Chains A and B, each alone.
Chain A
Amino acid sequence: MATAIGPSVPAQGPVERSTLDRMLPYGLVAPAVFVAFAIAVVPMGYVLWLSLQDWYLLRRPAPVWGGLINYNQLFHDASLWAAFGRTWIWTIGTVFVELFLGVPIALLFNRESSVSRTASALILLPWVTPFVVLGFGWRFLLDGDVGPIQGILRMLGISGTGSVLNDPVRALIAIIIISGWKGMPFMVIAVLAALKSIPKDIYEAAEVDGAGALRRFYHVTLPAIWNTLLTVGIVLGILAFYSFDLPWIMTRGGPQTATTIVGITIYKAVFQELRPAYAAAISVVMLVLLFVASILALRLRRKD
């Protein structure tokens, strides 16, 4: 993140700096840098190397150089590309739900009242509750026999007698909505922070000019929060793109392959098909696609 590099003036004391003083900063950052290397930088390099190996655990106990063999297979793997297609639907759907719920809620909560202050704190509960709990929780809520929300869906005619999770199309839609519900609070607090920074007199001026609520939103509010929406949308989109927990816990990627997104494909490639090198190649492709998509999305930023 570019914002990480903040300006901060070095403290130059009157004292001469000794060698020990000059080495001190490196000593202080070394442990954190070591962790970052061991957990992010080294694995990223390793995954690239691994993706060029021929390593299928049932056939070979140790990796052998395979060149582009995995990428070649990956290119012809129709079920993988179907999973990639599903992952885009999942990602865009999740971010859409987050915007669709989050922006109106933030507008509603942007008031000076004790109720809205309390609400802005409690709204974060879906975000802070671990995925694993919500995954099992929603399995209960949508259970075909006892699930209370399943009961409501049945009353509304959205679902038949069985759980919505048993129907391929409805299962994907349901888990996308749940995924959006879980991420929405983050959108709310980010948009709230952006809304609070809009000067009040701009609204007054717009109101004097006779602009209605909708026009004020479109011409004053939206431009002011646009970059926040975009940045938060990208952050939440990246998280959604790499989802695993919810669809794995709720449906194991099923029914059939209806909720198999790439995160699940990677997991299965390692632990069920025992092809770690192939999984590594998928990881690399995923990273490249996400990088390109993020760069394209960032071009929508407004420059002031």
Chain B
Amino acid sequence: MKRLPFPRDVGLDLLTLGILFIILLPILWVFLASVRPDSDIASGGWIPQRFTIRHYQEIIAFPGFLVALKNSLIVGVTVAVITTTMAVPAAYALSRLSFRGRNLVALIILGTQMLPSVAVLVPLVVIVRQIGLSNTLVALIFTHLSLGMPIAVWMLRGYIERVPRELEEAALIDGCSRIGAMVRVVLPLIRPAIVAVGTFAFVLSWGEFILALALISKADTKTLPLVLQGLFDPYSFSWGRVMAGGTTIALPTILLFLVFRKQLVGGLLAGGVKG
């Protein structure tokens, strides 16, 4: 295509920025409400004049918030670690080794990606109750593994396929075992991808709502998304406080996403991803 005339490029850039601003405005407003005094939210107009960190101090003092933060971190980090330690060997086997039933295995693992949480909510809740794991973080960790596992296998498989086979074959000839070759040759080369899928699994677990809502009802095992509802205090209602809680959940997700964007966009395109 021939080079567009200069003013048209500038015009399209401005249009791009304008549309981006409108699309992101709701999120920006949520953040701004979390740093404005409540009186300004109600009557201070759309452009903030005064800023405060009071809402964040309030949610930290809120009973249950720090417990929920701790629970969310425990669940998220555990899910990230387990997801990657299970996904790496599976991805390696699916991309490098030939074995009977390989296609079926790929189909089973990746097929779970297309299964939304609501579809398996009822059986999961009943099973978890019957084995006595209601209101435990173990149940939440286990069910959250389904969020990131398939996409992790999918993405890592793509990365492993790009590692030249010759590197491993050299190691094998030198007397390395298969697992040795995987750990010493392949893993170091795909380390950025491993960090990215781990981050992704963490983020999906961190913001997950319906499984937590269905499996957890006791205060000491609640996660952050469940505590947000509790921030609606009927006696001293404050939108700023609720938005501060929301920002606390959203900010790590958004920052981690922007850091690992390059690795994750390909993964998003590949597998859909549960919202």
Residues of A that sit less than 8 Å from B by CB:
1, 4-6, 8, 10-13, 15, 21-22, 24-29, 31-33, 35-44, 46-47, 50, 105, 108-109, 111, 113, 115-116, 119, 121-134, 136-138, 140-141, 143, 145-146, 148-149, 181-184, 186, 189-190, 193, 200, 203-204, 235, 238-239, 241-245, 248-249, 263, 266-267, 270-271, 276, 279-280, 283, 286-287
Query: Is there an interface contact between B87 and A239, defined as CB atoms closer than 8 Å?
Result: no
Task: State which residues 259-275 of B face A: CB under 8 Å.
Answer: 261, 265, 268-269, 271-275
Given known pairs A1-B111, A32-B90, A137-B30, the reply for A239 and B13 (CB within 8 Å) is no
**Cα–Cα distance between A36 and B168 once the two chains are bound (Å):** 29
CB-CB under 8 A for A238 and B114, given A5-B103, A25-B97, A113-B13 = yes
From B89, B118, B247, B258, residue with most partner A Cβ within 10 Å: B118
Q: How far in angstroms is the closest Cβ of chain A from B227?
A: 10
Q: Which A-B residue pairs are the 8 nearest by beta carbons?
A: A130-B207, A10-B98, A242-B116, A32-B90, A43-B123, A28-B93, A28-B89, A25-B99
Cβ of A49 to closest chain B Cβ, rounded Å? 9
Give the residues in chain B near A182, CB-CB below 8 Å. Answer: 275
* Contact between B122 and A32, CB atoms less than 8 A apart: no
B26 part of interface (Cβ distance < 8 Å): yes
B184: chain A residues within 8 A (beta carbon): none
Chain B interface helix/strand/loop/mixed: helix
Is A29 a contact partner of B169 (Cβ separation < 8 A)? Answer: no
Can you spell out 27 A-B residue pairs with CB atoms less than 8 angstroms apart? A1-B114, A6-B157, A6-B161, A29-B109, A31-B86, A32-B86, A33-B108, A35-B145, A36-B112, A40-B146, A41-B108, A46-B123, A113-B13, A121-B258, A121-B261, A130-B209, A131-B207, A137-B246, A146-B42, A189-B269, A193-B269, A239-B274, A242-B116, A242-B118, A245-B209, A270-B125, A286-B119
In whole angstroms, how far apart are the Cα atoms of A148 and B105 in the complex?
50
A interface: dominant SS = helix
Counting residue pairs across A and B whose Cβ atoms lie within 8 Å, the total is 283
A21-B178, A263-B118 known; A276-B126 Cβ under 8 A: yes
B30:A36 contact, CB within 8 angstroms? no
- Complex formed: what's the CA distance from A26 to B269 in Å? 28
Cβ contact within 8 Å between B99 and A26: yes
Q: How far is the CA of A8 from the CA of B93 in the complex (A)?
A: 11
* B62 beta carbon closer than 8 Å to chain A: no
Please judge, given known A-B contacts A29-B89, A31-B86, A39-B145, whether A13 and B122 are in contact too, CB under 8 Å.
no
Residue of A with least CB distance to B101: A26
- Contact A238:B116 (CB < 8 A) given known A200-B1, A203-B1: yes
B17 within 8 A of A: yes
Nearest A residue to B20 via CB reads: A119
Closest to A111 in B: B12
Interchain CA distance A239-B249 in the complex, whole Å: 22
Contact: B89 with A148, CB < 8 Å?
no
- Tell me if A186 and B13 are in contact (CB < 8 A): no
In Å, the complex CA distance between A283 and B115 comes to 12
Give, as a whole number of angstroms, the nearest-CB distance from A292 to chain B.
Answer: 15
Q: Are A130 and B225 in contact (CB under 8 A)?
A: yes
The reply to whether the CB of B53 lies closer than 8 angstroms to some CB of chain A is: no
Binding site for A on B (CB under 8 A): 1, 9, 12-13, 15-17, 19-20, 23-24, 26-27, 29-30, 33, 41-42, 46, 85-87, 89-90, 92-99, 102-103, 105-127, 142-143, 145-146, 149-150, 153-154, 157, 161, 165, 168-169, 172, 178-179, 203, 206-210, 214, 225, 228-229, 239, 242-243, 245-247, 249-250, 253-254, 257-258, 261, 265, 268-269, 271-275
Complex: A127 Cα to B119 Cα, angstroms: 21
Contact between B209 and A43, CB atoms less than 8 A apart: no
* The one of B112, B114, B239 that contacts A39, using a Cβ cutoff of 8 Å: B112
The CA-CA distance from A279 to B12 in the complex, in Å, is 51
Known: A24-B97, A50-B122, A189-B268. A119 touches B17 (CB 8 A): yes
Whether the pair B142, A132 counts as a contact (CB closer than 8 A) is no
CB pair A29–B94 under 8 Å, yes or no, is yes
Beta-carbon nearest neighbor of B157 in chain A: A6
Q: Are B122 and A29 in contact, with the CB atoms below 8 A?
A: no
Complex contacts, A248 vs chain B, CB 8 Å: 210
Do the beta carbons of B1 and A128 come within 8 Å of each other? no
* Inter-subunit contact A132/B249 (CB<8 Å): yes
Extra contacts, 12 of them, besides A31-B90, A121-B261 (Cβ < 8 A), are A1-B271, A8-B96, A24-B179, A39-B142, A113-B9, A123-B24, A124-B261, A128-B253, A129-B253, A136-B245, A141-B29, A145-B42
Q: How far is the CA of A10 from the CA of B96 in the complex (A)?
A: 6
A181 to B165, CA, bound (A): 43
Cβ contact within 8 Å between B26 and A133 = no
Partner of A133, one of B85, B94, B207: B207
Question: Does A132 contact B209, Cβ atoms closer than 8 Å?
Answer: yes
Across the interface, do B214 and A133 meet the contact criterion of CB distance under 8 Å? no
Contact B246 A190 (CB under 8 A): no
A44 to B92, CA, bound (A): 28
Determine how close the nearest CB of chain A comes to the CB of B163; give it in whole angstroms.
12
> Are B120 and A47 in contact (CB-based, < 8 A)?
yes
Contacts of B274 in A (CB 8 A): 239
Known: A24-B97, A128-B254. A11 touches B243 (CB 8 A): no
